[in-house]
Chains A and B, each alone.
Chain A
Amino acid sequence: MKIDSIKNYPAGYVSQTNKLKHDYEHEKHGAGMHRENESVNRGYYGSFTGKEKAAVNVGNNFVNKTFRSNWFQKLLHVFEEKTVVASTLVALIVAGVARPATNLVMAGKEDREDSIYAASHAISSAIIGFIVSSIVMAPFDKAFRKIKEDPKKYLQGLEELLDVKEIGKRKLEKSVPYKKISKVAQMIPDTLILGVPKAMLTIALIPPILKYVFHLEKGKHKAPQGPDANPDKQKYVEKLIKAPTLKAFKGGDK
């Protein structure tokens, strides 16, 4: 808007600017605001150096293109609103892709087969963890979104505890206690309540995944153990096969 056209300024603009002033003053004196030396930091991120900072890079490079992409912004949405699912997604990337890949690269010839089995196990475990968490946590995440979108309905009467003058979406965004306790509420179902059943389900589902997806079965990837693995017995069998009596023997229908 060109400020030169101020003569024709509607009242709306004035009230809008007044609103900014009003909001800012309210926040300054209201709850959740920690103001020191005319600077504002509610304490979520790193410390302020006070130095003049250079212009931010918003050029057309890979990082900035990623930041502007829809998929990245959707991903950030998942990280904030579906934190448990996001943590299993991280596990899927780190423990299901990066770790098995590194282990396979680092594996020697003698333990290659074991590494392949371990990698398949890790990938299965990470995939199951992600799928199970996504399914189990979906209703919890939707319920949390309801709290976030309509806090008056669910959190009425908690003004003092959450350090806000009144319960409202915007007011709660600035409340540090609300932010903290919400993250606990979001993550507790997975950490304390569903953690063990989820782990048991994952353990139960790993063998069929290994069998039908990776065609691997527990124990079969290893060299035979027990009496069959006895080198003396193997040598005896080899000797027996090479024996002239056995060579002379011709089986089958004549």
Chain B
Amino acid sequence: MKVISTQLYNQNYSANRKSYNSKNTTAPQFTGKYDQFTEWIANNYYKRFYNSKFAKSFINNTKGKKWNNMTTHMSALGSTLISGMYIVRTLQNDKLDVEKRKTLALNDLMVWALSTLGAYFMDAKLGNWWNGVTTRFTANYLMDNKKAKRVRTLGDWDPANINDMMNNWHEKVNARIDKINEAIKSPDYKGARKPLEKVEAAAYKNVRDFNLDVLKNRKLTTLIDGMGVLKSLFVFGMVYRYIVPVLVMKPANMIGNYYHKKQAEKAQAAQEAQQAK
């Protein structure tokens, strides 16, 4: 029986993809130059970046788990830069009087602070729930991609029971190893004679690690990582661009306008009363 390892499967997958991409090339000359350009970027941007002092310093100073989700931090950094630019431009706007500039700049600052805190809070709060969603996605992926289930090693298991498999995979593997070791003792057996060592018990906390160590499907790793990025980008996008500007700022402006109107009415009434005296 021919054994197809996951690695071999993934190699075939990427080779097929490369060949598919090359078959779809309509303008080879352009593709060649474009490829040279991307090679130049790989060498002059990415390679230099990974080798830079910044990368070294960054890695050494961000060892805590709170730094693991860089998508959120980069999204926050981008928004901070844009908000900072708006605040500086507002403060430098000669068409507005000084008090108005300060009020608007403070408003921008408050919106940025509220959005950033809100986005980090929501992203953290959704963490465990999203972990479950990612597990559900993985189970569905495995339903359609039987090779990714690693049936030859784990047996034909139901992806609906992926949580059970993440905790007890070693029992299944060891049960199979026991049977193989029994079989090896048989005089009829013609394969390798060295008995297999059992694997150690280990429960996986998340499906990404389970896939990396046990299923070893590269495409699935990319998709699981994509799920994490999807969550973070949507949370930050929703908070910065929708929840705060629409659902918070609009009612806040309405309340502010109402308050200003009432204040103006009071001031006018006071002025009229003073004039009457």
Contact B74 A154, beta carbon cutoff 8 Å = no
Chain B positions within 8 Å of A14 at CB level:
180, 184, 191-192, 196
Contact B189 A56, beta carbon cutoff 8 Å = no
Nearest-CB residue, chain B, relative to A148: B222
Contact B42 A180, beta carbon cutoff 8 Å = no
Q: For B136, give its contact among A43, A67, A103 (CB under 8 Å).
A: A67
Does any Cβ of B come within 8 Å of A203's Cβ? no
* Size of B's binding interface in residues, CB under 8 A: 115
Contact B159 A154, beta carbon cutoff 8 Å = no
Jot down 7 A-B pairs with beta carbons below 8 A, ordered by A: A1-B152, A39-B203, A46-B128, A47-B127, A55-B160, A103-B246, A143-B42
Does any Cβ of B come within 8 Å of A131's Cβ? no
Q: Which of A92-100, A210-218, A225-233, A245-253 contacts B (4 or more CB under 8 A)?
A: A92-100
Contact A180 B59, beta carbon cutoff 8 Å = yes
Does any Cβ of A come within 8 Å of B82's Cβ? yes
Given A78-B226, A140-B41, 12 further pairs, Cβ under 8 A: A7-B188, A9-B183, A10-B191, A17-B153, A40-B213, A45-B206, A67-B137, A80-B222, A87-B75, A94-B237, A95-B237, A170-B7
Give the interface size class of chain A: 35 or more
Does any Cβ of B come within 8 Å of A165's Cβ? no
* A42-B209 in contact given A14-B196, A90-B237, A155-B50 (Cβ < 8 Å): yes
List which A5-30 residues lie within 8 A (CB) of chain B.
6-7, 9-21, 23-24, 27-28
Contact A83 B208, beta carbon cutoff 8 Å = no
Contact A41 B206, beta carbon cutoff 8 Å = yes
Chain A positions within 8 Å of B3 at CB level:
10, 12-13, 15-16
The minimal Cβ–Cβ distance linking B199 to chain A, given in whole angstroms, is 5
Contact B228 A44, beta carbon cutoff 8 Å = yes
User: CB-CB contacts of B194-216 with A at 8 A, as 1s and 0s?
Assistant: 00111111111110111011101
User: CB-CB contacts of A69-101 with B at 8 A, as 1s and 0s?
Assistant: 000010111111101001100110111001100
The minimal Cβ–Cβ distance linking B231 to chain A, given in whole angstroms, is 9
Chain A positions within 8 Å of B58 at CB level:
180-181, 184
Chain A positions within 8 Å of B65 at CB level:
43
Does any Cβ of B come within 8 Å of A149's Cβ? yes
Contact A24 B45, beta carbon cutoff 8 Å = no
Contact B180 A180, beta carbon cutoff 8 Å = no
Contact A46 B131, beta carbon cutoff 8 Å = yes
The minimal Cβ–Cβ distance linking B44 to chain A, given in whole angstroms, is 9
The distance in angstroms between the C-alpha atoms of A35 and B203, with both chains bound, is 10
| Chain B residues within 8 Å of A, Cβ to Cβ | 1-3, 5, 7, 14, 34, 37-39, 41-43, 45-47, 49-51, 55-56, 58-59, 62, 65, 67-71, 74-75, 77-78, 81-82, 85, 127-131, 134-137, 139-141, 143-144, 151-153, 155-156, 158-164, 167, 173, 176-177, 179-180, 182-184, 186, 188-189, 191-192, 196-206, 208-210, 212-214, 216, 218, 221-223, 225-230, 233-234, 237-238, 241-242, 245-247, 250
Contact A21 B199, beta carbon cutoff 8 Å = yes
Chain B positions within 8 Å of A24 at CB level:
199-200, 202, 213-214
The distance in angstroms between the C-alpha atoms of A147 and B267, with both chains bound, is 67
Q: For B42, give its contact among A58, A147, A173 (CB under 8 Å).
A: A147
Nearest 4 CB-CB pairs, A to B? A76-B226, A41-B205, A46-B128, A48-B205
Does any Cβ of B come within 8 Å of A3's Cβ? yes
* A80-B208 in contact given A27-B213, A143-B39 (Cβ < 8 Å): no
Contact B180 A6, beta carbon cutoff 8 Å = yes
Contact B45 A183, beta carbon cutoff 8 Å = no
Q: For A16, give its contact among B135, B152, B222 (CB under 8 Å).
A: B152
* A195-B237 in contact given A43-B65, A173-B221 (Cβ < 8 Å): no
Chain A positions within 8 Å of B43 at CB level:
154
The minimal Cβ–Cβ distance linking A230 to chain B, given in whole angstroms, is 23
Chain B positions within 8 Å of A244 at CB level:
none
* A67-B59 in contact given A39-B204, A87-B233, A176-B68 (Cβ < 8 Å): no
